[in-house]
Each structure stands twice: as C-alpha cells, then as structure tokens.
Amino acid sequence: MKYIEPIIKACIDIAKSINAPIICLSDLPIKTDDVPVIIAENSTLKINKLMPVVESDSEGGQFIQILKNIESHSKTSSEQISDAAVLSYIGGLLKGDYVVGIVEIQDSVSIVVHDLTENKVINELLDCGERVDMRLLLSVMNVAFDIATFGREGVPIGCAFVIGDVDEVMRRSHQLVLNPYYGHKSEERDVLDPYTWEALKEFVQLDGVIVIDDEGLVVAAGRYLDVDAREISIKQGLGARHAAIAAITRDTQAVGVAVSQTGGVVRVFKDGIAVVEINSTTKIINKYGIDKT
C-alpha cells in the first residue's frame, strides 16, 4: 500500500504520546524501540491474502466471492484489536489503560486506540476476580487458551476447570478415575507456577473436570460433577460439560472455565451463566520491549 511508512509512523507517534503499547494485527513492518509492540494473528484476516486472482464469472470466481462475503461479515478492526487486547491482558503483557492497534484488512489499514477500561471481557474477568484470585483465573485461562489453540499433540480436545469454593465443589462431585494429583506436593499442584502447566494439560484429557482451590492448588482431576443441569440455559450446541460447569457455578461460589472441543472457544462461567466467551482464532505470536506483569 502507498504511504504505509507514514501510517506506521503515525501509529508509533500516537502510542508514544499516550504511553501505550502497539498491537499489530498485520504483516506491517513495525520496528521501533520507542514503545512495546505485540504481534498478533487472527485466522479470519488471512482469507483475503489466500484469494487467487480469477475471473468473477468462473466457478473459482464464484467461490472467491463467497469467501469475500464471509470476510465482509467478520469482525471490524476495532473488534479485532479488542480480542487481541484481551489475549494480551490474559497473558500479562499489558500495563496501563490503553493500547494502540494497527490492522490491515484487504486494501485498508486502520489505527485503533482501544480503552482497556471499557473492554467488556476484561471487566467481566475483573468481576470474576472478586470471587477468585485474579492471578489464578488468568493462569487457568492461559492453560485453557493453549489447549483451545493447539489441542494435545495436534488433536482438538475439550476440558473444564472449577476454581474456588472447593469444599462445596468436592461435596457435589465424585471421582471417575484415580485422582492423579492425590499425595503430590503442593508445589507440583500450584497452577500459579507455569512449570506445572504441562502436567495439567495432560490430565485435562481425563473424563471429568479439574478442581482447583482458592490458593491455586489442584485438588483433583477426573472429577465428575453431581449436579442437576436440567434448568440450565446455555448456548445451543454446547454439551454436557458446559451444562455441568454452568450448574456447579450456579450452586456454589466457584468460577468455571470450559474449552470447547469443536471451535476452540474458551468460556468463563459464574452464577450459572457464561459471562465470558472468547474465540481462539486470535493468538499472540511475538512481542518486543515487553516484560510480563
């Protein structure tokens, strides 16, 4: 695109003036030591770049037009940056109240200033953080997003975590298999320590849910929830796992996190309701000048 260098310079100047990091959702060559830069990727933005040039009245041309129609109904630049900002927040990459996003869609480049204090998903997560430790919730969500994005050994899997109110949760559940965490030292069960996440991602493949206490220690894996989910209202197409997580958060003070096997969507449940729903089509692929919080 013509004038791309002054557009990039304008983005950097805006970020410097408000002391905010840049989130780049494009292949634009943003190189600066003046502000932190987060490079993100969204699979829906790749459609246009994969489209070959064909005659519009050919069979291939008709197919390309369908893809363009799909893209035209995809998220706006502002929404793309909002999603990337949420993932950056969950990953502990953001400080301050603003980010400056730059997005390239088809033949347009947009600069977006995003106010994190107005981000609905972040605010819902903060509300959940009044019930369970925010660091713990974000740790679980980091694990959940890794599973949603990559599965295990390339195979998509679904899983669920129940955080907090552990005595009541354990009273309303039973073990499906031998608890692999029974008898392990606390440091081996501490979800706040990223060192434990790889083992956690193995045990989520067991039937049942992962139960985590308020301190961040995994109490059980392979736990079956004994709940009545008949009156639970969840989005059509979601299965028993999501219904059970919704029900346990309705009946206790716990917060639930569920990953859909199909679609890779991560949902956070509180009081029987999915208060957060994030699609894993967006991912952070690189960062410069950023220290994790």
pLDDT of residue 65: 55
Give 34-78 pLDDT, tens digit per residue.
Answer: 899 999 988 655 544 444 444 445 555 555 555 555 444 456 778
pTM recorded for the entire structure: 0.85
Query: Is residue 238 within 8 Å of residue 260, measured between CB atoms?
Result: yes
Count of CB atoms situated within 10 Å of the CB of 39:
18
Residue ranges of domains in the chain, CATH in brackets: 4-115 (no CATH), 122-280 (3.40.1700.10)
pLDDT of residue 73: 42
pLDDT of residue 26: 80
Report residue 14's pLDDT band, with 50, 70 and 90 as the boundaries.
very high
pLDDT of residue 58: 53
Query: Is residue 269 within 8 Å of residue 124, measured between CB atoms?
Result: no
pLDDT of residue 31: 82
Average pLDDT of the chain is 87
Give 229-280 pLDDT, tens digit per residue.
Answer: 888 888 888 889 999 999 999 999 999 999 998 888 999 999 999 999 998 8
Angstrom distance (rounded) from CA 162 to CA 256: 5
Give 139-158 pLDDT, tens digit per residue.
Answer: 999 999 999 999 888 889 99
Strand ranges for the chain from DSSP E: 22-25, 37-42, 98-105, 108-115, 159-163, 173-175, 209-212, 218-225, 255-259, 265-270, 273-279, 282-288
